[in-house]
Amino acid sequence: MSGTHDFVVVANRLPVDIQIDVDGERTWTRSPGGLVTALAPIMRAKGGAWVGWSGAADTAIEPFDADDMWLAPVPLSAKEIATYYEGFSNATLWPLYHDVIVDPEYHRVWWNAYLEVNRRFAEAAAVNAAEHATVWVHDYQLQLVPQMLRRLRPDVRIGFFNHIPFPPVELFGQLPWRKQVIEGLLGADLVGFQRTGDAANFLRAVRRFTSYGTRGQVITIGKHWTRPERHVRAATFPISIDSAQLDELARTEAVEKRAAAIRSELGDPDVLLLGVDRLDYTKGIRHRIKAFGELVAEKKLTVPAAALVQVASPSREQVEQYKTLRHEVELMVGNLNGEHGSLGRSAIYYMHHSYPQDEMAALYRAADVLLVTALRDGMNLVAKEYVAARSDLGGVLVLSEFAGAADEMSQALLVNPHDIEGMKSVIMRAATMDPREGRRRMRALRKRVLEHDVAHWANSFLSVLEAVPQRTSHV
């Protein structure tokens, strides 16, 4: 089993949105994600393939060429969407890896579907990868793929990157299949994490749940009479965005004009606060609204001189906890506006949809303060986008210390979102910050984000992975 591609990306989602019209005609548009932007030049140079799910149920789509990439769709049945994707990925692993903010559910049927679907992704990677190819597997939905793929294709180099946190061993230990997950990941040559703490948690889990030795970041997979000793490296590679592209977009006249129009449509507030998130319980949206609501109730901020714009893009809407969260957030927004809004003026402008990138750039440019108050977040790219969009050096970033971005962005105003009083005083400090201090902070933040962009992230990961000595095809 082998293919023709020297570089293969394996991710739960394909990097395109596919539309199939009534005649069965297929059209696609590139999805806006940062991952595809970072990998597109590498895919182009190496003739890469991307293995992933189209997002639709029960649809078999033949592999096809798009934008110099070979796309290999992995089909999922409606039942697998419920068990592998909504179930095990997003109602077991997602809450468990995000500090059990909501209770993870452990169901053997979901685990079986996770096994089955991971096997399908591994097989698709194996048929597409050329001999000695580099295969890069992404995220928590596919943690078993490295080991499954290694069994099918011992000749390829395998990298895995975990985009979300890796939990402390005391939480990870709850998982009934903890050993299988660790063994799955250890099929890779390189396992990458966002923060040093994530890599450390993983290394502790390896020591706790396997008998392999670890030395620094290197794990030695024991000798076996048929197989030589193998080493796996666990290291940190904080992900980023295409900062130069957003920087350029945000400087355009069209975006500047739109930013001014947004402010005037909102009645030219003195303080415009902004939140931008997927509607997810990890993002601390309720905590943020609570803090803002109390500031308004205590008249430390007044409406309409202050306003909060909250963009909450729909996400995982079939999962119960996401439905509950939506109700809770919408109730809070209704209460706040009912109490403090007036005809034509709201305290909080809540949007449950996503926007194109130019509108987001204008919102970033318009906002005096960006509130990133995640309870737990692998990285949080919104924080980096805000900074990349602020070439005018305006705006203050309030950033949760529980977001991976906090490790790199110490010039932000860091907050603990569980501490509502603390968050309220930081919001006030941001809203009233001396512009000179704001500019100094923003300049330092921009330096970091513009230098460490997503291409830097991908290249650092791949250069470590490609330094792994090539193996022969025979074990």
Least Å distance between CB 298 and ligand G6P? 35
Of 47 and 75, the one with the shorter C-beta distance to ligand G6P is 75
Q: How far is the CB of 93 from ligand G6P (least distance, A)?
A: 10
Using CA atoms, how far apart are residues 405 and 467, in angstroms rounded to an integer? 27
365 binds ligand G6P (CB under 6 A): no
Question: Given candidates 164, 182, 367, 465, which one binds ligand G6P under the rule CB under 6 A?
Answer: 164
Within 354-419, residue ranges assigned H as helices are: 357-366, 381-389
Task: State yes or no: residue 376 binds ligand G6P (CB under 6 A).
Answer: no
Bridge partners of 274, per DSSP, are 309, 370
Q: Is 452 in the site for ligand G6P (CB under 6 A)?
A: no
Q: How far is the CB of 54 from ligand G6P (least distance, A)?
A: 12
Tell me the backbone φ, ψ of residue 310, rounded to 5 degrees.
-120, 110
Contact 442, 390 (CB under 8 A): yes
The size of the interface with ligand G6P (CB under 6 A), counted in residues, is 7
Which two three-digit tokens encode residue 125?
């990677």
Give me the DSSP letters along 234-275.
EEE------HHHHHHHHHSHHHHHHHHHHHHHTT--SEEEEE
Here's the x/- map for ligand G6P, 117-146, by CB under 6 A: it reads as ----------------------x-------
Q: Which is nearer to ligand G6P, 52 or 417 (CB)?
A: 52
Asked whether the beta carbons of 442 and 395 are under 8 A apart, the reply is: yes
- Does 31 sit near ligand G6P (CB under 6 A)? no
Give the alpha-carbon dihedral of 12, 16, 20, 25, to 10 degrees. -130
Q: Nearest residue by C-beta to ligand G6P? A: 163
Indicate the residue among 193 and 349 with the shorter CB distance to ligand G6P. 193
Which residue, 15 or 395, has its beta carbon nearer to ligand G6P? 15
The amino acid that residue 333 corresponds to is V
**Of the two residues 98 and 157, which places its CB atom closer to ligand G6P in the complex?**
98
Range list of β-strands (E), 266-395:
271-278, 306-313, 348-351, 369-372
Q: Report how far residue 364's alpha carbon sits from residue 243's, in angstroms, rounded to the nearest whole number.
A: 14
* Tokens standing for residue 109: 């049927």
Comparing CB distances to ligand G6P, the nearer of 164 and 362 is 164
Residue among 70 and 322 whose Cβ is closer to ligand G6P? 322
Q: How far is the CB of 101 from ligand G6P (least distance, A)?
A: 15
Select the residue interacting with ligand G6P from 13, 153, 258, 290 (CB under 6 A). 13
Phi, psi (degrees; rounded to nearest 5) at 363: -65, -45
Q: Is 189 in the site for ligand G6P (CB under 6 A)?
A: no
Using the minimum distance from each CB to ligand G6P, give the nearer residue, 17 or 131. 17
Give 77-123 as a DSSP string. -HHHIIIIIIIIIIIIIHHHHTTTSS-----HHHHHHHHHHHHHHHH
Residue placing its CB nearer to ligand G6P in the complex, 214 or 354? 354
CB of 197 to ligand G6P, least distance (A): 17
Least distance to ligand G6P, CB of residue 244, Å = 22
163 binds ligand G6P (CB under 6 A): yes
List of residues contacting ligand G6P (CB under 6 A): 12-13, 139, 163-164, 315-316
